[in-house]
Structure 1
Amino acid sequence: MTQDRPVDADAAADGTAGAVLPAPRTPSPREAPALNWGVMAPGGIAAHFTETLQKHTGQQVVAVGSRDAGRARAFADRFGIATAHGRYADLVENDEVDIVYVASPHSAHFEHAMQAIEAGRHVLVEKAFTRNAREAEQLIDAARERGVFLMEAMWTRFLPHIDVVRQVLGSGLLGEVHTVTADHGQQMDPDPAHRLFAPELAGGALLDLGVYPVSFASMVLGPFASVTAVGTKTFTGVDGQASIVVTTGSGAHGVLNTTLFARTPTSASISGSRARLEIDGPFYGAARIRLIGRDNELLDTFVPPRRDGGMSYQAAEAARCIGAGRLESDLMPLAETLDIMRVLDGVRRDLEVTFPGE
């Protein structure tokens, strides 16, 4: 709701007087065409995804696959899924499956997504998309050659509050954007068995948490002209913390941080010559947005409609694209996913972090 206040002459001159944040244009996830989904790798994120689809969409999860048949059956029983496969090959060859959701660790994204693509299935791959840009490029080429839909499951991109951000950027309300900030830090107990500390699983803060601020800055700023990073490794040799500065050809900066060592505000901001947007933490979820004027006055606030079911929006986007015969999403284009993977590769080079098998 817009705040009541006297009209400021400077605000009137810069076009922010009476500024109101737009309503999101995001369709309801329930309105998307229904697809039959197969879930690959029934871990925690797969459970959250499946529960969200069942509660908030018309999508159907018809099969689950695991290397462990007992694990697949337990997951299927938990969610009322008809078919449990003890081999990933059986999942992707199941003709009842329209699209495969790849929820395995980062180290296996390439292998599992490629299996699904080669079987002619559409694919939604958890972020980070792959371990590195080389793998990402091969997946994209394979999907285009096979004629199947492929998308990175960067669920933030599809949320209503992010559509508000896109509209504000498109309107020019902020003026020329100069600075973007974003962080994502979670305090993780140092456990060599945990996937985030395991080099063989492509662990570390960057691919799991840091991809959020990097992707956000990419969406706001467009392609980066330069990327510089400093960081600290964990006791297992993966990245534990990274601070990243990106620039664009126009001179805008992104100041981004990720860490496994402390819980951070997980907030974001976009500062322009006329106004700025502040996005509460976690900015990557259903977050409140404030529009702030040049004199630090609150101009307007957007409160998202709900704070659960966020993963339903990415599934709905995939379903809409596939229903329309499209092979990728304009909201998370494959070219941008590849650019983001190249950025993450560069950050890891700066931090001197490599994964086994690279």
Structure 2
Amino acid sequence: MTGTVRWGVLATGGIAAAFTADLLRMPDAEVVAVASRSAAPAEAFAGRFGIPRAYGDWASLAADEDVDVVYVATPHAAHRAAAGLCLEAGRAVLCEKPFTLNAREAAELAGIARERGVFLMEAMWMYCNPVIRRLVELVRDGAIGEVRSVCADFGIAGPIEAGHRLRDPAAGGGALLDLGVYPVSFAQLLLGEPDRVQADALLSPEGVDLNTGVLLGWDSGATALLSCSIESDTPLTASVSGTAGRIEFPRGFFDPEGFVLHRAGREPEECTVPGPLDGFQHEAAEVMRCLRAGRTESPLVPLDGTLAVMRTLDAVRDRIGVLYPAEVTPV
């Protein structure tokens, strides 16, 4: 594939709008189609962004031969169905985080993509951010020695009213999948899949987690202390500590502009990575780079890493007692 990459957008909510707006600022990307469950929202979205084709069903978008890649931005519980439909039709897919409701669904999508040789990537934009990529390079090169602890939090102020998607079990609600996926992904980017998972949480009357604390452990001796909340506005910071120094991220670690590197005997170092892209453009650029190179997976957001994060999220939900309706086997 060369030249302009043609995108389809599946869903018309806030995240779909933000992603589309960023795509439209990229000269090598074109948004050619949008789909929703009904015609009216798709047509309104198309009119807002100047998209030529609007579909009132997902299948029509999946079947559109002029679409090179589909961005799936539905609620969590629909990711498996939406992404699977597109993959089965041979469309490359960028699927929003959390990738799916659980590791079983994630493995199913990865299996379809690999069997058919179709590109698939989780929209973990944090992994594509050049500042995060610089963090990984420094840690890999031993700038702070052996990593011993990771701390990260992601919380938003409540209250979240009953009936909101964040408190709806059928939509995959709760703090963990919506927000906690970032701290978990941050820790596993540096340390891989943990050997031990501990967690505690405050649950809502509906049975989703409102406030969750997670402790991950590795046989290396490293630990990660992570938290997420839809009841409190937390600092949204992160830090990585090693045997020879530490790295600290200010508020907004998941979309950082820089960090501070602390090493013994040296002045703190401000690390930034200026560039022409911002926001969701980093992950869009990675998708397009992979498609042009004929890749079916991204080395920045590999499927095996996504599956490992989903297994950890499953383990956390097992510890805190959160089970979604779609996971309950009918008697």
> What is the TM-score when the length of structure 1 is the normalising length?
0.88
Taking structure 1 as reference, are residues 353 and 307 closer, same or farther at Cα in structure 2, changes over 3 Å only? farther
State the 1:166 CA deviation.
Answer: 1.2
Bigger Rg over Cα: 1
Taking structure 1 as reference, are residues 307 and 288 closer, same or farther at Cα in structure 2, changes over 3 Å only? farther
Which residue number in structure 1 is paired with residue 297 of structure 2?
328
User: Contact between 2:99 and 2:306, CA under 8 Å: does it hold in 1?
Assistant: yes
Which residue number in structure 2 is paired with residue 103 of structure 1?
73
- 1:274 to 2:236 alignment: no
User: Contact between 1:149 and 1:322, CA under 8 Å: does it hold in 2?
Assistant: yes
User: Contact between 1:110 and 1:130, CA under 8 Å: does it hold in 2?
Assistant: yes
Q: Pick one of 30, 40, 50 that aligns with 2:10.
A: 40
Report the residue type matching 1:149 in the other structure.
F
Taking structure 1 as reference, are residues 171 and 33 closer, same or farther at Cα in structure 2, changes over 3 Å only? farther
Aligned length: 326
User: Contact between 1:279 and 1:287, CA under 8 Å: does it hold in 2?
Assistant: no
User: Contact between 2:155 and 2:231, CA under 8 Å: does it hold in 1?
Assistant: yes
Which residue number in structure 1 is paired with residue 143 of structure 2?
173
3-state SS, counterpart of residue 130 of structure 1: coil
List per-residue Cα deviations over 1:202-252 (Å, max 9, x = no partner).
Answer: 010001100000000000112211111111112321011111111112110
User: For 1:57 and 1:233, how far apart are their aligned partners in 2?
Assistant: 45
User: Contact between 2:92 and 2:119, CA under 8 Å: does it hold in 1?
Assistant: yes
Q: Pick one of 70, 75, 92 that aligns with 2:45.
A: 75
Within 5 A, what are the aligned runs for 1:89-100?
Answer: 89-100=59-70
Report the residue type matching 1:347 in the other structure.
V
User: For 2:317 and 2:305, how far apart are their aligned partners in 1?
Assistant: 18
User: For 2:312 and 2:257, how far apart are their aligned partners in 1?
Assistant: 26
- 1:339 to 2:312 alignment: no
Taking structure 1 as reference, are residues 72 and 130 closer, same or farther at Cα in structure 2, changes over 3 Å only? same
User: For 1:86 and 1:198, how far apart are their aligned partners in 2?
Assistant: 25
Within 5 A, what are the aligned runs for 1:112-131?
Answer: 112-131=82-101
- 1:356 to 2:325 alignment: yes
- Give unmatched runs, 5+ long, in structure 1: 1-31
Report the residue type matching 1:59 in the other structure.
A
User: For 1:298 and 1:207, how far apart are their aligned partners in 2?
Assistant: 38
- Give unmatched runs, 5+ long, in structure 2: none
Identity %: 45
State the 1:78 CA deviation.
Answer: 0.3
User: Contact between 2:11 and 2:73, CA under 8 Å: does it hold in 1?
Assistant: yes
User: For 1:196 and 1:233, how far apart are their aligned partners in 2?
Assistant: 12
User: For 2:277 and 2:237, how far apart are their aligned partners in 1?
Assistant: 18
User: For 1:298 and 1:235, how far apart are their aligned partners in 2?
Assistant: 50
After the TM superposition, list the runs of 4 or more consecutive aligned residues in structure 1 that deviate by more than 6 angstroms. none
Taking structure 1 as reference, are residues 33 and 164 closer, same or farther at Cα in structure 2, changes over 3 Å only? farther
User: For 2:124 and 2:3, how far apart are their aligned partners in 1?
Assistant: 20
Q: Pick one of 293, 303, 315 that aligns with 2:284.
A: 315
Which residue number in structure 2 is paired with residue 138 of structure 1?
108
State the 1:302 CA deviation.
Answer: 1.6
RMSD (CA atoms) = 1.5
Taking structure 1 as reference, are residues 55 and 260 closer, same or farther at Cα in structure 2, changes over 3 Å only? same
